[in-house]
Structure 1
Amino acid sequence: MHIVLITTSFPDGEPGREAAGSFVADFARQLARHARVTVVAAASTDSTSRDGDVEVVRFAVPRTPLSLLRPLYPGDWPAILKTMRVGKAAVQRVVDTTQPDYLFSLWALPSGGWAQSVGRDAKTRYAVWALGSDIWSLGRLPLLRSKLRSVLRAADACFADGMKLAKEVEDLSGRDCGFLASSRRLPPPASNEKSVGAPYKLAYLGRWHVNKGSDLLLESLGQLSTDDWSKISAVRIFGGGPLQDSIERGAEELRDQGRPVETGGYLDKQGAADLIGWSDFLLLPSRIESVPVIFSDAVQLGTPIVATPVGDLPILFDKYAVGVLAQGVSAHEMANAIRRALADAPGRYRSGLKAAAVDFDIAVAAEEFARQTRQAIHA
């Protein structure tokens, strides 16, 4: 069985692509235990290489990451149109030369569009793994919403990385959509000792973007009292993105008040493992979310989470008891959730974290997809 993965997320050394990109790479490696796997991925330069048992064919696009291209901004359309052309051509070349049994697009747009077009001509079926950005961002634009619906309806199978997101995919497409958990394999952290009592170490790792709530986090930290801060030994905020200036400025203001806040850039997998292992609580202040990869990172390393109640997080916190869930999506409620965590001990969440880690194992997701794909091919 030969499966071609078509993706706009694959590690190529560029900052900010490590989380989603390394998840796709880990999924491909695990899938290669059950099938021959070729990855076709957008990148800054053309190349063909091997990643263990996985062949990786990269095609150059005008600008990366593609998530920063804005369909409503006329100045981005030359880059968007060229990306659509070179992406389809790259997928076409791989399909023509390797004759795969199945195509799997990560994510719905533009990868699913390439799979739909090339797969139709080659009479090769394809599946789609949808992200929240497919539905919540691109799906709000009338022309792209129509294309998105077409891609989903024509697919042999649809998956989403969230349970609520899967329902939204079903509502949009009028077809079934399964849940497939997204996660990645992290290396052992430099340290993974959790404090048994205050003061605690807190960490945030992710894009500094309004959807990820990094601004809410800084505001919530500013609302903590001196007594609250006496229970915090350090806060580390790592990442980057559109809100970088305001995040850096907010962190500097907290440091001026004597608060132990440190900022840093994007981290590779080892850096992410070290930060999550170092922390007693991981902070997840998103305004909109499905099931972020950082959730599975945290449970894999046994680090409890303090999060806002968005996407599937209320369901997951109720099922697994992996940390403290805020009562609402605001700086005030996030600050209250942090206070509740500071009155806790990380160890009380150990059993819930272990149970969640089993269910969010990337090897399980790859094996399940391989099983379903083999059944579809031989049906």
Structure 2
Amino acid sequence: MAHDVFLSHSVKDKAVADAVVARLEADSVTCWVAPRDVVPGADWGESIINAIESSRIMILIFSKNANESSQIKREVERAVNKEVYIIPFRIDDVAPAKKLEYFISTSQWMDAFSPPLERHLSNLAKTVKSVLANPPLPKPLDIEAPVNPPLPDPVDIEAPVTPVGRTRPVADGSTPHISSRLRMAIIATIPTLVILGAAGWYLGHKREVPPEKLSEPTQAAKRAAAAKPAEDEADKKQNIENMRAAMLGAVAKNLKDGASSPSARLNHVAIRPLKRTYIKVIVDNENANPAFERWISPADGTVEFRGQHISVRVLDRDAVQITKNGNTLEESDDDVTVD
């Protein structure tokens, strides 16, 4: 149950604590004080902690006795930790010990060691009601601004290759604009370009291993490498140039092979997504076996493939419409296998 005030006092100052409680409760201020409000059989320490955390104000009956009490120190420490407003009510003209001064040095003190006590109790009641009516603003949280992770360096690589099969939708039975042999050569080239492009990206963007995970020899090698950034940059550029040359060579070779190879009977398979699903297509041709594997949706349009045998693996068969040479394919056949 929540209370307005928690009374922290030495057992030797119980008479003053009882007088404070009587004065405040006469003004309808709810108070929690031990041992009066400790439930019989309940754990003493737990009861104290719960009472402090559920109170809005702590009144510390500060005296020579409180100054020497370890229990008082623990109660004040808990109140500070929970941001409970503390009012030290000093009934002895003594300075707080360091163990208490650390927590209450900034609090507003009320001196009550000169008689009569009733006058000081009236002032205390006014102060408590004022704090309850106008509670102080909570202290701002000391939170550090988040640190944005560094952005990766830009990659000096040509535009990415369009995935296999990303062509405009073709009406069933229409003639494609690109010859079959040229299309086969381009399809056979795509995996080579993807592999070489990935290798170039990897060489240009090797992840840095955190220093704490590096062995001492590795850290020494890393420090030595940092001394020659110009040489490393030159090596990186040379690697990228080598990748480009290899990619262009592979394109030229596959175009040449595709143009010179005899024409074989090729099946035209079109896959039109009806809803979003995942497909994997492997085209079995004479020169290469390119693979197409990714999520597709109706927004992607129809994807097309040509090959002697085409294996289609689809996550949801009802999510796609498959046609072979212009005819809707309901089940697998000799040329097109559907999983």
TM-score by length of 2: 0.31
- The structure having more radius of gyration, on CA atoms, is 2
* Larger fraction in helix: 1
TM-score by length of 1: 0.28
